[in-house]
Chain A
């Protein structure tokens, strides 16, 4: 085995960029360009994410499998509409998966009164409108969450991290259902606003939403 400091001279290849790099969001562009193996790579890269999101909303694994397939089919159709200036690939794909999963869960729960979310085909992601841009880098998301009031952070964690439903959060925290809904909704608005500010000038809000 070799583990010599002499090797260090060559290792800069792993950590330095010797020229301007391509965008970090290359797979969807390749998918949109019709590069066949980009699609296979996409499945390998993001299949776990899509599968995990499906399982959060649909407890039945067989239905979750169908959801994953539908999401990737959506993705192929939507890839041309993806704009890396608006969102990261991960967020974009997560949004499609989430949208599909929520729609499916609504149908399962027999809630036909709810309008489905817009079709992927209607995504306005080609827009260059800066107000739409929330690229959602992970570090920014964490930063945004830290700016929420403590109670909202707890509810966010229970909902988004542990996958709890509203009634489950009520049972866990003892908070009224209305409070849980309000904290989640206002928290989401605040997170979006902070992400916008972070995208814009790098400075988050200094006044957390109550």
Chain B
């Protein structure tokens, strides 16, 4: 058998190994050839198999059960190096504050971006549910106004932008303050109409070109009736390092994965 045909045979067996369908005889031959042929196979065929499988799965992916997600968060994260690192304290210059106030939420925009790997609508919906749940569960340990003042007094890299209302929201005014270093920010709105959370919710999008071409989902929030001024903490799901704009849209309850931008309420960006 020539070298070329032996390699071809080995590739076919390798494909069988990746597909999980080698019989005993084939497995012996695979072992024999893998020893005799120079060089080991790379991962390309296994990656190709995974790509085909994940591509097909996009259309029928099952959402991770909530209880399992909670279990993973508890058990897997406990073993992860990052947790050990965070328990040991934040790394100098890492930009991570270790702030327990920060809520971890899924990056829905990026989720969709990677989604050529997309169409994971069910998982995304779960992610939204998780996000909303987390948002609503967040205890108000610190008065947002006080927290905002503390941030303004302590952040050396404070970004402050004015919100401009758009369309029917022209009378809106407000500002956003943000610190990359602290990964903390607040939005202040005046004359932003109260919303009915059962009908729609405001949703924040953070445009950070250094991390993604699509805006990062900054979560949903409500403006209660009778509140002319509201301070909304920003609960960014991912590290935001260079926000170029903050955009508020009005979306269905719970927010959306991809905004159709039908109602763009306000925009804050450098002039």
Q: How far is the CB of A154 from chain B (nearest CB, A)?
A: 13
Return chain B residues, CB-CB under 8 Å to A105. Answer: 20
- Interface membership of A24, Cβ < 8 A: yes
Interface residue from B44, B91, B110 paired with A45 (Cβ < 8 Å): B110
CB interface residues, A 122-143, toward B, < 8 Å? 123-125, 127, 129, 131-134, 136-139, 141-142
A26 and B96 contact, Cβ closer than 8 Å, known pairs A39-B80, A72-B72 = no
Interface residue from A39, A88, A102, A161 paired with B20 (Cβ < 8 Å): A102
Interface string of B120-141 (1 = CB under 8 A from A): 1011001100100000000000
Interface string of B100-130 (1 = CB under 8 A from A): 0010111100110111111010110011001
In the complex, the answer to whether A40 meets B47 with C-beta atoms within 8 Å is no
Interface string of A72-115 (1 = CB under 8 A from B): 11001000000000111111101100110010011000000111
Interface stretch, picked from B143-151, B226-234, B260-268, is B260-268
Closest A-chain residue to B83, C-beta based?
A36
CB interface residues, A 37-76, toward B, < 8 Å? 37-41, 43-45, 47-53, 55-56, 65, 68-69, 72-73, 76
With an 8 Å Cβ cutoff, the count of chain B residues facing the other chain is: 101
In the complex, the answer to whether B44 meets A131 with C-beta atoms within 8 Å is yes
CB interface residues, B 168-207, toward A, < 8 Å? 168-169, 205, 207
In the complex, the answer to whether B104 meets A24 with C-beta atoms within 8 Å is no
In the complex, the answer to whether B264 meets A51 with C-beta atoms within 8 Å is no
Q: How far is the CB of B253 from chain A (nearest CB, A)?
A: 15
With an 8 Å Cβ cutoff, the count of chain A residues facing the other chain is: 101
CA distance A34 to B85 in the complex (A): 7
Q: How far is the CB of A86 from chain B (nearest CB, A)?
A: 7
In the complex, the answer to whether B72 meets A69 with C-beta atoms within 8 Å is yes
Q: How far is the CB of A188 from chain B (nearest CB, A)?
A: 5
A43 and B69 contact, Cβ closer than 8 Å, known pairs A2-B263, A35-B82 = yes
Return chain A residues, CB-CB under 8 Å to B37. Answer: none
Closest B-chain residue to A40, C-beta based?
B104
A76 and B16 contact, Cβ closer than 8 Å, known pairs A7-B261, A40-B73 = no
In the complex, the answer to whether A195 meets B82 with C-beta atoms within 8 Å is no
In the complex, the answer to whether A94 meets B53 with C-beta atoms within 8 Å is yes
Interface residue from A17, A48, A69, A123 paired with B75 (Cβ < 8 Å): A69
Interface string of B221-245 (1 = CB under 8 A from A): 0000000000000000111000011
Return chain B residues, CB-CB under 8 Å to A89. Answer: 114, 117
Closest B-chain residue to A140, C-beta based?
B51
In the complex, the answer to whether A94 meets B50 with C-beta atoms within 8 Å is yes
CA distance A186 to B13 in the complex (A): 10
Q: How far is the CB of A68 from chain B (nearest CB, A)?
A: 6
Interface residue from B47, B52, B244, B267 paired with A86 (Cβ < 8 Å): B47
Residue among A13, A25, A102 with max Cβ neighbours from chain B (10 Å): A13
CA distance A183 to B229 in the complex (A): 66
- Interface membership of B65, Cβ < 8 A: yes
- Interface membership of A184, Cβ < 8 A: yes
CA distance A185 to B31 in the complex (A): 17
Closest A-chain residue to B40, C-beta based?
A124
A47 and B64 contact, Cβ closer than 8 Å, known pairs A184-B19, A189-B15 = yes
- Interface membership of A181, Cβ < 8 A: yes
Closest B-chain residue to A43, C-beta based?
B72
- Interface membership of B77, Cβ < 8 A: yes
Closest A-chain residue to B210, C-beta based?
A22
Additional 8 contacts, C-beta under 8 A, given A47-B126, A51-B62: A14-B214, A36-B85, A38-B239, A44-B69, A48-B64, A91-B50, A114-B22, A189-B12
A-B contact pairs, 12 of them (CB 8 A): A4-B168, A7-B264, A10-B264, A13-B267, A19-B209, A34-B94, A36-B96, A39-B76, A69-B72, A99-B46, A114-B27, A138-B117
User: Which 3 A-B pairs have CB atoms at the shortest separation, nearest pair first?
Assistant: A48-B123, A136-B51, A44-B106
